[in-house]
Amino acid sequence: MSMLEHEKQIFEYEKILKQLKEQNQDKVIWSQDEIKSLEGKLETLKKETYTKLTPIERLAICRHPKRPRSLDYIRNIFDAFEEIHGDRLYRDDHAIITGFAKLGEQKFVVVAQEKGCDTESRLFRNFGMPYPEGYRKAMRVMKLAEKFHLPVISLIDTPGAFAGLEAEERGQGWAIAENLLDMSRLKTPTISLLIGEGCSGGALGIGVSDKILMLEHAYYSVISPEACASILWKDGTAEELMHAKDLVVKALKLHPEDLMQLGIIDTIIKEPLGGAHYDIQAVYTKVKETILETLAPLQLQSMEDLLEQRYQKYRKIGKFLEDAGV
């Protein structure tokens, strides 16, 4: 498993403990009590490390290469999934996956941003950065959800919408703006789940929802920390930019507890100690339970009330702090 900077001491301790256990197989040198004592110290070290994470260390967990992606959630949460391709205008955008899904007796429409898990799939998925046709495909499928009275689940995990020339030529900003408007008045329950990165309009383009769920180490921000740091310190040295990144991660208030306090998200889903990649099955179970628990009260509301509450939810967003600590 890939090691993050703040995990070095833990990995070294685990390596030494493994060597001691292997030595004991040939000749008993360490008693069981001594081994258990060392294991206890390792657990204490893990708890101390993972419960005192800095914002930038949590950002590293969010971007861990072994963190489960949207396709992993689709395959492991839903009992069935049938993918829908294309926007019927230009082409199929592989950065956004859409389709019909079933969980028990409940049917859904799923819209998900997929980054890929290796070099080949990341190139195929454009690193999770959608083109305009991806957002148009997403809205086409959401309107099918409205037509067939199916709730929408959006899985958000993107460093942002693709900012290349061809995306702008095909109307990237317009495609996202249309989605914001159409999702705000979509006549069916909608739930968004942030599983990793949620950057800028690229994330919001499929994220206007009745309820927003968020994994503990995911983040949701108007801009990526790197982009923010480079704009504010564009002439800085590499060392200055790293320091700037640390400052902006704190100032952007992009972690779930900050967003909950600001009234932007509704539910925080706890992750295993160290991040979702340490116990993936437990995360799948929690996500599945939370989705069903969140959906149940939404389905009991009248459509008029649902749309009004969605409208009021987004009207209230926009608090600001006089001193953000920068």
- 124 and 33 share a domain? no
Residue 226 maps to a domain: yes
Q: Count Cβ atoms below 10 Å from residue 52 Cβ, excluding itself.
A: 9
The pLDDT score that the predictor gives to residue 220 is 95
Give the pLDDT band (50/70/90) at residue 319.
Answer: low
Q: How many domains does the chain have?
A: 2
Same structural domain for residues 34 and 125? no
Q: Are the C-beta atoms of 111 and 158 separated by less than 8 Å?
A: no
Q: What backbone torsions phi and psi does residue 80 show, to the nearest 5 degrees?
A: -150, 150
pLDDT on residue 275: 94
For position 262, which CATH number holds?
3.90.226.10
Residue 15 in any domain: the answer is no
Q: What does the pLDDT look like over 215-254, one tens digit per residue?
A: 999 999 998 888 888 888 776 666 777 778 888 888 888 9
- 148 shares its domain with 271: yes
Q: Residue 11 corresponds to which tokens in the numbers above?
A: 């990995």
Residue 287 covered by a domain: yes
Same-domain status, 32 and 141: no
117 neighbors 188 (Cβ within 8 angstroms): no
| Residue indicated by tokens 């230009």 | 90
Q: pLDDT tens, 102-130?
A: 999 999 999 999 999 999 999 999 999 99
Same domain for 244 and 213: yes
20-57 per-position pLDDT tens digit: 877 777 776 667 777 788 888 888 899 989 989 988 89
Indicate if 81 and 144 belong to the same structural domain. yes
Examine the domain organization and report whether 103 and 43 are in the same domain. no
Give which of 217, 218, 186, 210 is closest to 294, Cα–Cα: 210
Q: Give the model's pLDDT for residue 1.
A: 62
Q: How far apart are CA 240 and CA 242, in angstroms?
A: 5
**67 and 144 co-located in one domain:** yes
Same domain, 49 and 176: no
Tell me whether residue 3 is in a domain.
Answer: no
Quickly count: other Cβ atoms within 10 Å of residue 206's Cβ. 29
- Structural domain that includes position 280: 59-315
**170 and 213 co-located in one domain:** yes
Please list the residues that pair with 153 across neighbouring strands.
Answer: 110, 191
One domain, residues 92 and 183: yes
